[in-house]
Amino acid sequence: MTEYRKAVEYYASNNIDYLFHNKGSAHAQIIFENIFKNAREHIRISALNLWNTEVVRTKEYLEALKLFLDQPKTRLDILVKNMPSNEELAEEADNNIYRMLYSHPAYSAGRIRIKTGNGKCFKTPEGSEVHFCTADGHMYRYEDNITERTAQCNFNDSSTAENFENLFDSAFQSISSVVNLANIFA
Amino acid sequence: MDDLFAFTALIQLISAVNFANIKFHFHEKVFELLLDVQLILDEMFRPMESTISADIESLMGMDTMETKNNRSLQPRIDRLIREYQGLSSEWNIKKQTYYTTKENCIQAQGIKSFFLFISLYCIYDLALIALIPSENYADVSHVGLFVLNISSLIVSIGFCIRSCFHKKNKPESALYTIAIILSIVSLILVFCAVKYWGPFILEINSPAIPLLSILLPFAPCLWCFVYVVYHIFSIRLPMRCRSISIRWKQYKLHREKKQLDDLHDLFSDISSPPATFG
């Protein structure tokens, strides 16, 4: 996996058009980490609830996301199918992503927006649930099997990334359920 | 003036003795300074290694789709993975040889005894320089320096050739003994030369010899650079040549992997939005 990490870092940092087929949590974590580290403007995430311990609530994922938010003028839009329960969110743990987002200055600056689909999510024409993440109009990770985390990813494919971003934006604008983290953590 | 000359020679003599110890490891430091094998490997082969790793993992993560006539892509994917893994092992073995060459260069026993020889030679050399101002020993000194320089030149070439071919059939202590014996033989040669061929050598003696002798304590540094530069070329050039076949194999495998990607895209065309919200 060390070699894979090096390879992904190489493709991501050099913006090389290469289609990665990846599978499993370890791959997912490496890909997300590199998307966050190399993004400079805008990240969009469509996910189940951003609460899994295998990928999201890991030190690497959270640190990379924090590094992205530390950059000025960056924006993060998150669209989740469902939010975790308030009891779960109340956890004081270091790997609580929502607490991290709330305590980051980017949240009070309005650079982080979170919405919930209240059970609605992106689906394939066959009806299976899909998740994706895009960054800066040229990076994407598209997970078409959320159980096995089978996904495709590219760090420099503008046309596909923009298609996903348009899809995300139209859904994001149509949803009114804004998640206000201040109601949970304040 | 004579006292000052003698004092200078004495200082140089002491310096030569002190530097003798440092110079045993000097080539190692110079090598590390001039050639970082890991960095070179990264610069030269990172794109190729990245493609190999990414292709292997990507093939492993690829969907096992079926074509219209129910023929699965899985056997082709499996074969490609096996070939890639073979290529990866082959490359790792080749890469290891570069580290081994570097280690051989640093650990070569001959080179350390060569520096010992040079250091001993410098001590004799400076002792003879110290004799130049003396009226009684000036001729002896000139003849001695002449013979010492010639003999050391011949022995140095022998040592260099031996070290470059990484001869390791003798233990380090034996090589040190050889270096000491060689330097003593040089000294004996000087005495014989002074006694039997002194007048003849003095006729062809050049005033440049004392000057050359003062510069010679720096010889280990010079030889060290020659030695290290030789090894840098002996690592870099074969590195490029040997990687050509690996690069060619990797290019062919990557081309096949791209064909599989294209086939995959036919089945799951993600270039148009593959999902709807609901």
Q: What is the pLDDT of residue A106?
A: 93
Q: What is the pLDDT of residue A85?
A: 87
Distance from CA of B242 to the nearest CA of A (A): 22
Average pLDDT, chain B: 72
What is the pLDDT averaged over residues A150-172?
91
Q: What is the pLDDT of residue B73?
A: 74
Look at residue B110 and give its three-state secondary structure.
helix
- Asked if the Cβ–Cβ distance from B278 to A123 is below 8 Å, we say yes
The 3-class SS string of B201-238 reads: HHHHCCCHHHHHHHHHHHHHHHHHHHHHHHHHHHHHHH
Does the pLDDT of residue B256 top 60, yes or no? yes
A7 at B interface, C-beta within 8 A? yes
Q: Look up tokens 């490997």; give the residue.
A: B41
What is the pLDDT averaged over residues B205-221?
61
Amino acid, res. B157 = I
B69 at A interface, C-beta within 8 A? no
- Cα angle at A159 between A154 and A162, to 5 degrees? 90
User: Regarding predicted confidence, which is higher, B188 or A33?
Assistant: A33
Average pLDDT, chain A: 90
Taking the C-alpha atoms of residue B257 and residue B259, their distance in angstroms, rounded to an integer, is 5
A116 at B interface, C-beta within 8 A? no
User: Regarding predicted confidence, which is higher, A157 or B211?
Assistant: A157
Look at residue B128 and give its three-state secondary structure.
helix
- Tally of CA atoms within 13 A in the half-sphere of B270 that contains its CB: 26
- Asked if the Cβ–Cβ distance from A163 to B273 is below 8 Å, we say yes
Q: Which two tokens stand for residue B239?
A: 């590195």
Q: What is the pLDDT of residue B130?
A: 72
B57, B58, B275 member nearest A122 (Cβ): B275
What is the pLDDT averaged over residues B81-90?
88
Taking the C-alpha atoms of residue B15 and residue B18, their distance in angstroms, rounded to an integer, is 5
Distance from CA of B271 to the nearest CA of A (A): 5
> Which of these ranges, A65-79, A146-160, B40-54, has the smallest mean pLDDT?
B40-54
Strand partners, A117: none
Q: A119 and A182 in contact (C-beta within 8 Å)?
A: no
> Which of these ranges, A28-32, A89-93, A123-127, B60-64, has the smallest mean pLDDT?
B60-64
pLDDT tens by residue, B106-143: 666 666 677 777 777 777 777 777 777 677 777 777 77
> Which of these ranges, A172-186, B71-85, B187-201, has the smallest mean pLDDT?
B187-201
Distance from CA of B68 to the nearest CA of A (A): 18
What is the pLDDT averaged over residues A28-40?
94
In eight-state DSSP terms, residue A85 is P
User: Regarding predicted confidence, which is higher, A37 or B209?
Assistant: A37
- Asked if the Cβ–Cβ distance from A21 to B276 is below 8 Å, we say no
